[in-house]
Amino acid sequence: MVLNLRVLTLNIRCDTGVDGDFNWVHRRERVFELLKQSRADIIALQEVLPNQRQDLEENLPAFQWLGRGRDFGGGGEQCALGISPHLSIQDEGVFWLSDTPRLEGTVGWDACLPRICCWAEIASPSCSGKAVIANTHFDHLGTVARTKSAELMASMFTGVSGILLGDFNCGPRSAPIRHLSHNFHDVLEFSEEATYHEFGRLPRGPRIDYILVDREVKIHRAEIVAESEPYCSDHFAILAELEVG
- Judged by DSSP in three states, 143 sits in helix
Say how many domains are in the chain. 1
Predicted local confidence at residue 203, as pLDDT: 77
Whole-number pLDDT of residue 228: 87
Residue 138: name the closest of 103, 162, 174, 104 by CA.
174
How far is the C-alpha of 189 from the C-alpha of 182, rounded, in Å? 13
- What pLDDT does residue 117 have? 99
Say which CATH number the domain at 205 has. Answer: 3.60.10.10
C-beta separation of 25 from 62 below 8 A: no
DSSP 3-state assignment of 151?
A: helix
**C-alpha triplet 70, 192, 79: angle, nearest 5°:** 15
pTM above 0.85, yes or no: yes
**3-state class (DSSP) for residue 76:** coil
pLDDT at residue 178, as a whole number: 97
Q: Could you give the CA distance from residue 197 to residue 176 in angstroms, rounded to a whole number?
A: 21
Name every residue whose Cβ is closer than 8 Å to that of residue 21 and which is 6 or more positions away in sequence.
none
The pLDDT value given to residue 49: 98
pLDDT score at 213: 98
Residues in the chain: 245
- Structural domain for 109, as ranges: 3-244
Burial of 121 (0-12, 13-18, 19+ CB in 10 A): middle
Per-residue pLDDT tens digits of the chain, which is 245 residues long? 899 999 999 999 999 989 999 999 999 999 999 999 999 999 999 999 999 999 999 999 999 999 999 999 999 999 999 999 999 999 999 999 999 999 999 999 999 999 999 999 999 998 888 999 999 999 999 999 999 999 999 999 999 999 999 999 999 999 999 999 999 999 999 788 999 999 999 877 889 999 999 999 999 999 999 998 899 999 999 999 999 98
Q: What is the C-alpha to C-alpha distance for residues 120 and 198, in angstroms, rounded to an integer?
A: 30
